[in-house]
Amino acid sequence: MRILVLPILVPLSTAAVLMLAPRRPAPQRWISLIGSVLLLASALLVFLRVDATGIQVLQISAWPAPFGITLVADLLAAALVVAVGVVGTATSGVAFSGVDPRREAFGYHPLLQILLMGVAGAFLTGDLFNLYVWFEVMLVASFVLMALNRTRAQMEAAFKYVTINLLASSIFLTALGLLYGATGTLNMADLARVWPTISTPGVDILLAVLFLIAFSIKAGLFPLFFWLPASYHTPPPAIGAAFAGLLTKVGVYALIRVFTLLFHSMSPALFGLLLAMSAATMVIGLVAALNERDFRRMLSFNLVGHIGYTTASLSLLTPGALAGAIFYVLHHIVVITNLYLVSGVLLRLRRTTEMTRLGGIYRDRPLFSALAMVPVFSLAGVPPLSGFLGKLAILEGTFDAGAYWVGGLVLVVGLLTLLAMGRTWADSFWRPAETPDFAPPGAPYLVAIASLSLLTVAMTIAAEPLFDLTTRSAQQLLHRDEYVSAVLGATP
Amino acid sequence: MEGLLALTSGVLYAAGIYLMLRRRLAQLIIGLGLLSNGTNLLIFTAGGLTRARPPVLPDGAPALVEPYADPVPQALVLTAIVIGFGLTAFSLVLAHRVHATVGTDDVDDVGREG
Residue A331 has a pLDDT of 92
**Within 10 A of A480 (CB to CB), how many other CB atoms are there?**
16
Q: Are A327 and A470 in contact (CB under 8 A)?
A: yes
Lowest-pLDDT choice from A163-172, A214-223, A227-236, B3-12: A227-236
Residue A298 to residue A426: CA distance in whole angstroms: 14
Nearest neighbour of B97 by CB, restricted to A150, A166, A177: A150
Q: Is the dihedral of CA A210, A313, A453, A225 positive or negative?
A: negative
Residue A492, pLDDT above cutoff 70: no
Nearest neighbour of A155 by CB, restricted to B80, B87, B102: B102
Lowest-pLDDT choice from A6-10, A113-117, A166-170, A266-270: A266-270
Residue A99 has a pLDDT of 78
Residue A268, pLDDT above cutoff 90: no
Residue A425 has a pLDDT of 87
Decide if B9 is inside a domain.
Answer: yes
* Residue B67: cis peptide before it, omega within 30 degrees of 0: yes
pLDDT above 90: percentage of residues in chain A: 31
Decide if B58 is inside a domain.
Answer: no
Residue A487 has a pLDDT of 86
Decide if B18 is inside a domain.
Answer: yes
Count of domains for chain B: 1
> pLDDT tens across A322-356, in order?
999 999 999 999 999 999 999 888 888 888 778 77
User: Measured between beta carbons, which residues in chain B are less than 8 angstroms from residue A166?
Assistant: 32, 36, 87, 91
**Interchain proximity A170–B35, CB inside 8 Å:** yes
> pLDDT tens across B43-81, in order?
988 887 877 788 888 887 788 777 788 888 888 999 999
A345-348: long-range pairs with CB below 8 Å, 24+: A345/A372, A345/A441, A345/A442, A345/A445, A345/A446, A345/A449, A346/A295, A346/A428, A347/A237, A348/A97, A348/A438, A348/A439, A348/A440, A348/A441, A348/A442, A348/A445
Mean pLDDT throughout A121-137? 93
CATH number assigned to the domain comprising residue B41: 1.10.287.3510
Decide if B61 is inside a domain.
Answer: no
Decide if B13 is inside a domain.
Answer: yes
Q: Are B43 and A175 in contact (CB under 8 A)?
A: no
Nearest neighbour of A140 by CB, restricted to B47, B86, B110: B86
**Within 10 A of A75 (CB to CB), how many other CB atoms are there?**
22
User: Measured between beta carbons, which residues in chain A are less than 8 angstroms from residue B94?
Assistant: 143, 147, 158-159, 162
Domain limits for position B31: 2-52+68-111
User: What's the whole-number average pLDDT of chain B?
Assistant: 85
Decide if B62 is inside a domain.
Answer: no
Residue B16 to residue B18: CA distance in whole angstroms: 5
Decide if B94 is inside a domain.
Answer: yes
Residue A128, pLDDT above cutoff 60: yes
Residue A228 has a pLDDT of 84
> pLDDT tens across A51-70, in order?
888 888 888 888 887 888 89
pLDDT above 70: percentage of residues in chain A: 99
- The pTM is what? 0.92
User: Measured between beta carbons, which residues in chain A are less than 8 angstroms from residue B36?
Assistant: 166, 170, 173
Residue B114 pLDDT class (50, 70, 90 cuts):
very low
**Interchain proximity B43–A159, CB inside 8 Å:** no
Q: Counting Cβ atoms within 10 Å, is residue A163 exposed (0-12), middle (13-18) or buried (19+)?
A: buried
Residue B58 to residue A152: CA distance in whole angstroms: 60
Most confident by average pLDDT, A157-161, A168-172, A223-227: A168-172
| A384 DSSP 8-state letter | T
DSSP lists the bridge partners of residue A73 as A56
User: Measured between beta carbons, which residues in chain A are less than 8 angstroms from residue B107?
Assistant: 159
Residue A490 has a pLDDT of 56
Residue A491 pLDDT class (50, 70, 90 cuts):
very low
Q: What is the CA radius of gyration of chain B?
A: 20
Side-chain-facing half-sphere of A323: CA atoms under 13 Å: 24
Mean pLDDT throughout B83-112? 82
Q: Are A69 and A130 in contact (CB under 8 A)?
A: yes
Residue A26 pLDDT class (50, 70, 90 cuts):
confident
ipTM above 0.85, yes or no: yes
**Interchain proximity A177–B101, CB inside 8 Å:** no
**Interchain proximity B47–A181, CB inside 8 Å:** yes
Decide if B60 is inside a domain.
Answer: no
